[in-house]
Amino acid sequence: MRVLFFSARPYDRRSFAAANGRHELVFTETRLSAQTAGLAASYPAICTFVNDRLDAETLAALAAGGLRYVALRCAGFNQVDLRAAERLGIEVARVPAYSPYAVAEYAVGLLLTLNRKFHRAYNRVRENNFLLDGLEGFDLHGKTVGVVGAGRIGAVFANIMLGFGCRVLVHDPHSDDAALRAAGAQFVGLDTLLAQAQIVSLHCPLTPETHHLIDAAALARMQHGAMLINTSRGGLLDTAAVVGALKSGRLGALGLDVYEQEGDLFFEDLSSTIVEDDVFQRLLTFPNVVVTGHQAFFTQEALAAIARTTLVNLDDFAAGRPCPNRLTAAALLR
Ligand code: NAI
């Protein structure tokens, strides 16, 4: 099948070329939007990534060009209007799991960086400044870590934290993972988690229910000086409220791999342009904030698994077989 890949980077070409042998893959670096949907005219299928827009307007333009299939090469699907896709007869599939270790380990990396100040130490030593002032951290052993979302990634993250000797509190209204409980994690309500955890890490999807899950009220319930890690989706945080909590000291450290308005920024080299997003720019001024550009998934194993599963999803569609990774509007209710 002919498939047009939007937002394709060189590493996408490499990983898909290594796993392919049966589909005709065409790559463009262009991001998908209503304005660029015309590029897909006459393609039966496209493949998109996290910041490609698949809203009703874009999907209608794609359907008008004859599109019948969208292969998401990612797990999250908050960027897709699934109801509109269903209405237009466009099938959508995703890669529900590729490497939970990639994201969970990355969240731990952000946590350790913020705690032990690797980011500051790295710069200091390069300037022959060997002072330790300001680099003090704390032992993770014995601290309480809150994990919001006990799915594939949250469970791996929780187990790593248990390995550090932390007390792990988990909140997940839709899951009660017996293995995680047996490993020593406690399932609690969100309020209890926020009140007791020194470190909170978010691993739930972005849905209407979780939009701005961490807002001013939630921040007010957190421990003074707590650390917040978000490797899930930017929309889980009310970023303006988070900036306020950083200014007041309520939030002691913030690690982000995702940002609510990242579609305008991430996966591009903007080093020679003026970034107009004042909230984002303000975040970068805090010494106790580390922001990265949606790279938690970015390991060799994850890229290979994403390519493999996406191509199998395409095989299923081409053969008219039911696909276990197909997304329906009903998925929004889960
Ligand atoms: P998953 O579907 O295995 O687990 C998500 C869990 O969140 C489920 O157990 C679900 O019950 C729970 N959940 C749903 N609503 C909740 C709520 N209101 N409060 C607490 N928990 C809730 O998904 P997985 O694979 O663990 O991925 C989690 C998220 O990580 C994805 O939705 C995606 O947004 C993000 N992600 C980020 C990546 C990155 O590169 N930064 C890469 C891959 C995923």
The verdict on 107 and 240 lying in the same domain is: yes
The verdict on 283 and 162 lying in the same domain is: yes
Percent of all residues in the chain with a pLDDT value above 90, rounded to a whole number = 97
Going by their DSSP bridges, the two strands 186-187 and 199-202 should be labelled as: unpaired
CATH number at residue 50: 3.40.50.720
Phi first, then psi: give them for residue 221, nearest 5 degrees: -85, -10
Report in angstroms the alpha-carbon separations of 295 from 58, 110, 224, 258, 266: 26, 12, 29, 9, 10
d(CA 213, CA 190): 10
- In this structure, the residues whose C-beta lies within 6 A of any atom of ligand 1 are 75-76, 97, 100, 103, 148-154, 171-175, 203-206, 209-210, 231-233, 257-258, 294, 296-297
Residue 18 scores a pLDDT above 60 = yes
The verdict on 203 and 328 lying in the same domain is: no
Residue 334 scores a pLDDT above 80 = no
Number of domains comprising the chain: 2
The verdict on 121 and 75 lying in the same domain is: no
Residue 57 scores a pLDDT above 80 = yes
The verdict on 128 and 40 lying in the same domain is: no
Q: Over the chain, what is the mean pLDDT?
A: 97
Query: 42 C-alpha vs ligand 1 centroid, how far in Å?
Result: 34
The verdict on 209 and 194 lying in the same domain is: yes
Residue 91 scores a pLDDT above 60 = yes
Ligand 1 binding pocket mutation candidate from 11, 204, 294 (most atoms within 8 A of CB): 204
Burial environment of residue 77 by CB neighbours within 10 A (0 to 12, 13 to 18, 19 or more): buried
Query: 256 C-alpha vs ligand 1 centroid, how far in Å?
Result: 15
Instruction: Give residue 240's pLDDT.
Output: 97
The verdict on 62 and 143 lying in the same domain is: no
Q: Which domain holds residue 183?
A: 100-291
Based on the residue annotation, tell me whether 294 is a catalytic residue of this protein: yes
Residue 10 scores a pLDDT above 60 = yes
Q: What pLDDT, in 10s, does the model give residues 100-155?
A: 999 999 999 999 999 999 999 999 999 999 999 999 999 999 999 999 999 999 99
Q: Whose CA is nearest to atom 32 of ligand 1?
A: 205
Residue 166 scores a pLDDT above 60 = yes
Q: What pLDDT, in 10s, does the model give residues 208-265?
A: 999 999 999 999 999 999 999 999 999 999 999 999 999 999 999 999 999 999 998 9
d(CA 144, CA 162): 10
Tell me the Ramachandran region of residue 35: left when phi exceeds 0, alpha when psi lies from -120 to 50, beta otherwise: alpha
Q: What pLDDT, in 10s, does the model give residues 33-45?
A: 999 999 999 999 9
Query: 113 C-alpha vs ligand 1 centroid, how far in Å?
Result: 23
Percent of all residues in the chain with a pLDDT value above 70, rounded to a whole number = 99
Query: 94 C-alpha vs ligand 1 centroid, how far in Å?
Result: 14
Going by their DSSP bridges, the two strands 91-93 and 326-327 should be labelled as: antiparallel
Query: 34 C-alpha vs ligand 1 centroid, how far in Å?
Result: 27
The verdict on 182 and 272 lying in the same domain is: yes
Q: Whose CA is nearest to atom 30 of ligand 1?
A: 232
Choose, from 73, 203, 233, 260, the residue flagged as catalytic.
Answer: 233
Confidence bin at 329 (pLDDT 50/70/90): confident
d(CA 313, CA 326): 8
The verdict on 117 and 79 lying in the same domain is: no
The verdict on 75 and 126 lying in the same domain is: no
Instruction: Give residue 330's pLDDT.
Output: 82
Q: Whose CA is nearest to atom 4 of ligand 1?
A: 151
Report in angstroms the alpha-carbon separations of 47 from 26, 54, 94, 246: 10, 11, 10, 38
Instruction: Give residue 332's pLDDT.
Output: 67
Based on the residue annotation, tell me whether 119 is a catalytic residue of this protein: no
Q: What pLDDT, in 10s, does the model give residues 265-303?
A: 999 999 999 999 999 999 999 999 999 999 999 999 999
d(CA 145, CA 64): 49
Overall average pLDDT of the 80-98 stretch: 97
The verdict on 51 and 105 lying in the same domain is: no
The verdict on 182 and 279 lying in the same domain is: yes
Based on the residue annotation, tell me whether 9 is a catalytic residue of this protein: no
Residue 203 scores a pLDDT above 80 = yes
